[in-house]
Amino acid sequence: MAPQAVVLLDATERKARILQQLAPLFGGALLTVGLALLVIMTGANRLLGALSALAGVALFVWGGRLLVRWEVPYKGHLIRFQNSVVFGERLYIDDDRFDDDADEGAEKVLRGTIAAGDGLGERIVASSAAGILSLRCRIQAESSDGG
């Protein structure tokens, strides 16, 4: 029998995705300007360059730590998908990570299998499409027994 799919989530995030893109960009710009000011300025004015560089590093690091994240309960399990500009996409089922991503580029597909309890053996498929201004995620549960 063909696998039966149940859509658990179909969502798009824009605000957090834009922050993921802009924070490192502006952080890098502030760092560059700050380092330039450190070289050009003299005396106490160099403090402006140091503060700018420090703010740039902080913004760059903060942007790298921003996650776009969705969680959905399914048959007593917690399914979580998250995206990071540093670590990419990750799929978790009850805190077990599945990242067998064979796709490269903006569209990814991650798969995992429920290992215990209700829904044992069902495959969870998370597909994502990452753009500069948005991230779309679709999570499905696939069962070969018809439900």
- Predicted confidence at residue 100, as pLDDT, reads 61
What are the tens digits of pLDDT across the range 27-53?
999 999 999 999 999 888 899 999 999
Distance from C-alpha of 25 to C-alpha of 40, rounded to nearest angstrom: 23
* pLDDT band at residue 146 using 50, 70 and 90 as cut-offs: low
Q: What is the pTM of this model?
A: 0.82
Q: Give me the DSSP letters along 74-115.
A: ETTEEEEEEEETTTEEEEEETTEEE------SSEEEEEEE--
Yes or no: say if 142 and 123 are a contact pair by the CB < 8 Å rule: yes
Domain map of the chain by residue range?
A: 4-14+67-143, 21-64
- 7-11, 41-45, 78-82, 119-123: lowest mean pLDDT where? 41-45
Distance from C-alpha of 63 to C-alpha of 59, rounded to nearest angstrom: 6
Distance from C-alpha of 142 to C-alpha of 103, rounded to nearest angstrom: 20
Name which of 69, 63, 65 is nearest 11 in CA terms: 69
